[in-house]
Chain A
Amino acid sequence: MNEINKSACEPTERLLVLYACDELEEAERSSVEQHVQQCAGCAATLARELRMREVLASAGRPADRLDPSGLLLAQCRSKLAEKLDDDAAPAARRRWFGWLRPSEWFVLRPAWTATLLVLIGVSLGTVAPRWFTPEPGPINGAGVIVSAPRLTDQDMQTLGVSGINWVGDSNAGTQRIELHVTAEKPLILQGTTDDTDVRRVLTFIVQNGQRFDSGIRLDSVDVLRMRSGDAAVRQALCNAVQSDRNPGVRLKALEALRGFEQDELVRDTLLAALVEDSNPGVRIEAINALRTLTEKSPDFDDQRVIDVLRDRMQKDPNTYIRMQSAAAVRQLGPRQSY
């Protein structure tokens, strides 16, 4: 083996690696073999290269140690199948129902989408008010009774009311009340608070609060406040203040009784509300009404009222009520002893 020029070995070192892994063309192989025969250094390098490959090949492969039985492969296959099943379910849903998702076509056709949205907006703006504005005409084929006392006592026992509306023009003085009644058969009762049947039904609603929902009761009190001068109406309103389970209705009934504090029934109702009502708003309305009474009638002399006010100025949990009670007692004059 003859030594050859060292400079010829540098490129050969690279070729030796490729030679060892059988990546050289026939001509290059021959050239390397020729060089190795003459160069001891490159021959040793090639021997080391081949030896290294043997050593690497003799060592076991991690795959043989880590999954000798193929169990891991089986687990991987099973897990992949599960994952594909999971992915397939939403994909199927998307395929069938994807077009229902607005985002599917909003993104693709922005101009059309904008136009469509504008049209929907205009249509809703035009049509929707009609849906929510009650029409004066008959509804669902129900008969219309205009201010005629045709509801019998039997009808009143089975009375139901599904809605109370104002119809007509309030400015023109033609405003009327419309009661959607469900007695033996549905009917619509139209009229003013002067009409007996209308007033009778409204009073009945307020007095029998447990049979009607709070919205109907509130509307009824609202209408009846225009007829608070009527003793029967006041009786109904006082009844509502004392027994209605909704504080909003009780409060509204108290408001409807304003101006009638001189009425003994109303006064008793105010005192009862002031002492017994659990709602501070209702009690405040009651004390305000009583304050109005004491202001309007400084010579007012009802011992029961004074006793209640004294009691409340000391015991009511609400500061405002205690202060107003004290002010009312003071107003009633020095003739009252503390």
Chain B
Amino acid sequence: MPLTRLAFVVPGQGTHLGCEGGAAAARSIVKTADEQALIRAAQTGDRAAFEELVHRYDRDVLRLALNLLHRTEDARDVYQEAFLKVYKNIHRFRFECSFYTWVYRIVTNVCLDHLRRRISRPEDQAPEPSPDETAPTNFFERVAEDRLIGDPERSFMGKEIGWRIHGALQTLTPRERMVFEMKHYQGLKLRAIGELLGTTEETVKNSLFRATRKLRTRLEGLL
């Protein structure tokens, strides 16, 4: 109830918070207007505008690809393929949804294609690296990680858990994996995930439910 919440606002601070909220809203509006201008410029072939748009989203896109595919080569391919599709189709974007949603629809489709290809043609794929193999090879990164881990027993347990989770995630279908990743690690709402995947919220719920059951079964000993 908005009125109840307002009752807790300390005079003075309320003005300040209100200002902050207003500023955030204003920033959001400015950002949206700015993004629309960038999109329109990119639609007319402005490379700089397109690159600015890419830089707004590509960090998250790459993280999503890395988390889903667990391989830098595949993540790099997804990044290229997805943003080239965005570039080639940006003239078709009609502002009917947010640009973020539109971009993520493309990205998730490309990721799903990669995951499905991996399942259908496992012989064409290099084996997925184990959590051990994906440990940093750079000396400074390795030292930093060793310092953080410190306790060998804890380190071993951490690796064991990592292995089990890795194995458990492999049992999910591409769509279940995508839904779980978006829900659990990216914190998206199921409705938003449905929009991104071009499906209903109910279907996403079913996928999440199946994924959770599979994971619970596979991780039984850890829980």
Contacts and interface: CB of A to CB of B under 8 A. Distances in A.
A72 interface: yes
B19 to A, nearest CB: 29
Nearest to B76: A76
A58 B161 contact: yes
B209 interface: yes
A77 B215 contact: no
Interface in B54-109: 54-55, 58-59, 62-63, 66-67, 70-72, 75-76, 79-80, 83-84, 87
B117 interface: no
A23 B66 CA distance: 26
A68 B136 contact: yes
B141 to A, nearest CB: 5
Given A49-B216, A55-B222, A75 B76 contact: yes
B75 A51 contact: no
Interface in A66-80: 66-69, 72-73, 75-77, 79-80
B207 to A, nearest CB: 11
Contacts of A17: 208-209, 212
B208 A80 contact: no
Interface residues of A, number: 36
Contacts of A52: 212, 215-216, 219, 222-223
Contacts, number: 105
Contacts of B21: none
B47 interface: yes
Given A68-B136, A80-B83, A88-B47, A63 B62 contact: yes
B47 A67 contact: no
Interface residues of B, number: 45
Nearest to B163: A59
Interface stretch (B5-13, B170-178, B181-189): B181-189
Contacts of B80: 76, 79-80, 83
Interface in B168-223: 183-185, 189-190, 205, 208-209, 212, 215-216, 219, 222-223
Interface of A: 14, 17-18, 21, 23, 48-49, 51-53, 55-63, 65-69, 72-73, 75-77, 79-81, 83-84, 87-88
Interface of B: 47, 50-51, 54-55, 58-59, 62-63, 66-67, 70-72, 75-76, 79-80, 83-84, 87, 131, 134-136, 138, 141, 158, 161-162, 165, 183-185, 189-190, 205, 208-209, 212, 215-216, 219, 222-223
The 6 closest A-B pairs by CB, nearest first: A63-B66, A63-B63, A76-B79, A65-B134, A51-B223, A48-B223
